[in-house]
């Protein structure tokens, strides 16, 4: 499971290559239009090579002569560039994206990092690798607070989830585990997928998955789930914790994450109290101290 930071850093070699191609194209274009410029640049290059040899030979007189020649050539070169309005940096590699200067991240006015719009491809790949391949159309901007006629409740849940993601939310005894409980068909999956995508957009490592799928996820991913910045497990229910080895896998993940205070959200249609009384014992112990996200919670 690759994080967005890893994906962007892997693509830097590709960006560097395109920067170099653009530079070479630019140089060829300028030299074609102004062959006298190419001639001077060739001479300068030649003189610099000769100077290198003169330095090794410790031939001070020759060095001085070459220095004067280079100086004259540069003055001539500057004149041609100025007279023809040529970009003086035509032979320097330039950033492909001015917004992020090819780093892949831009800084918001509040100082937070965000993935730059030039890295849409890496972002989509990361969503897919982070459990969200089936939700490519889910976007936060399409989440409507007033859907189902409960604008304040829906807005509150959205903000609570974002607070958990940003580390601004604390359950009563500072547990990093949260239960998001809401009636069926109220858009919980849509919202949590969008929050998970927001996490990745902010440069964090995150994963969205169904609770029961913990038993079919590969061991590499399971190991990653213990350490990523933000984890959402959907369709959480007491019966799921009793299915196969889901209970022990989940318990293990939650224990490692709690030790590093990494936020985890369990999404469920059931009330928290009911889950606490019916779940696998190891899980219910953790649930009782978990924070609650719901329309009613304060």
- Binds Zn ion by CB under 5 A, chosen from 28, 79, 99, 121: 99
Question: Is 268:180 a contact under the CB 8 Å cutoff?
Answer: yes
User: What separation in angstroms does the CA of 148 have from each of 144, 174, 294?
Assistant: 9, 32, 15
Q: How far is the CB of 117 from Zn ion (least distance, A)?
A: 6
Q: Which two tokens stand for residue 193?
A: 């997928």
Question: Is 139:127 a contact under the CB 8 Å cutoff?
Answer: no
The site map against Zn ion for 163-202 (x = CB under 5 A) is: ----------------------------------------
- Binds Zn ion by CB under 5 A, chosen from 54, 100, 250, 279: 100
Q: How far is the CB of 42 from Zn ion (least distance, A)?
A: 35
Stretch of 41-49, 95-103, 137-145, 180-188 contacting Zn ion, by CB under 5 A: 95-103
Stretch of 66-74, 80-88, 90-98, 149-157 contacting Zn ion, by CB under 5 A: 90-98
Question: Is 161:291 a contact under the CB 8 Å cutoff?
Answer: no
For the chain, how far is it from start to end, CA to CA, in angstroms?
Answer: 35
Q: Does 121 bind Zn ion (CB under 5 A)?
A: no
**Residues 6 or more apart from 148 whose CB is under 8 A from it?**
154, 186, 187
- Binds Zn ion by CB under 5 A, chosen from 44, 97, 222, 256: 97
Total of chain residues touching Zn ion, rule CB under 5 A:
5
Q: How far is the CB of 116 from Zn ion (least distance, A)?
A: 3
Q: How far is the CB of 14 from Zn ion (least distance, A)?
A: 13
By three-state DSSP, how is residue 106 classified? Answer: strand
Q: How far is the CB of 268 from Zn ion (least distance, A)?
A: 39
Return the sign of the alpha-carbon dihedral for residues 99, 101, 105, 108: negative
- Binds Zn ion by CB under 5 A, chosen from 15, 30, 54, 118: 118
- Binds Zn ion by CB under 5 A, chosen from 1, 115, 116, 228: 116
Question: Is 156:41 a contact under the CB 8 Å cutoff?
Answer: no
The residues facing 207 across adjacent strands are 231
Task: Give the nearer residue to Zn ion in terms of CB position, either 104 or 182.
Answer: 104
**Residues 6 or more apart from 135 whose CB is under 8 A from it?**
127, 189, 193, 208
Q: How far is the CB of 114 from Zn ion (least distance, A)?
A: 10
Q: Which two tokens stand for residue 139?
A: 């976007």
Site residues, Zn ion (CB under 5 A): 97, 99-100, 116, 118
């Amino acid at each position: 499971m690759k994080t967005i930071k890893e994906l962007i850093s892997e693509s830097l070699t590709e960006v560097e290559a395109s920067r170099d191609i653009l530079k070479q194209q630019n140089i060829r274009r300028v030299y074609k239009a102004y062959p006298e410029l190419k001639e001077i640049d060739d001479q300068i290059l030649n003189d610099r090579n000769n100077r290198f040899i003169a330095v090794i030979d410790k031939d001070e007189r020759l060095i001085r002569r070459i220095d004067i020649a280079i100086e004259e050539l540069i003055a001539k070169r500057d004149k041609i560039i100025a007279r023809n309005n040529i970009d003086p940096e035509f032979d320097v590699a330039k950033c492909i994206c001015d917004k992020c200067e090819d780093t892949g991240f831009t800084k918001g006015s509040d100082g937070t990092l965000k993935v730059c719009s030039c890295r849409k491809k890496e972002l989509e790949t990361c969503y897919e690798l982070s459990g969200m391949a089936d939700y490519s159309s889910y976007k936060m901007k399409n989440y409507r607070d007033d859907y189902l006629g409960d604008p304040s409740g829906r807005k509150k849940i959205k903000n609570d989830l974002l607070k958990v993601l940003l580390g601004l939310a604390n359950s009563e005894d500072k547990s990093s585990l949260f239960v998001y409980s809401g009636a069926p068909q109220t858009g919980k999956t849509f919202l949590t997928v969008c929050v998970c995508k927001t996490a990745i957009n902010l440069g964090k490592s995150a994963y969205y998955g169904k609770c029961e799928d913990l038993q079919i996820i590969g061991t590499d991913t399971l190991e990653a789930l213990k350490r990523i910045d933000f984890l959402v497990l959907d369709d959480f229910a007491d019966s799921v914790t009793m299915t196969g080895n889901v209970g022990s896998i989940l318990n293990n993940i939650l224990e490692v994450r709690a030790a590093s205070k990494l936020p985890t959200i369990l999404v469920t249609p059931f009330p928290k109290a009911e889950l606490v009384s019916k779940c696998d014992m190891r899980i219910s112990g953790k649930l009782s101290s978990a924070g609650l996200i719901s329309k009613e919670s304060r």
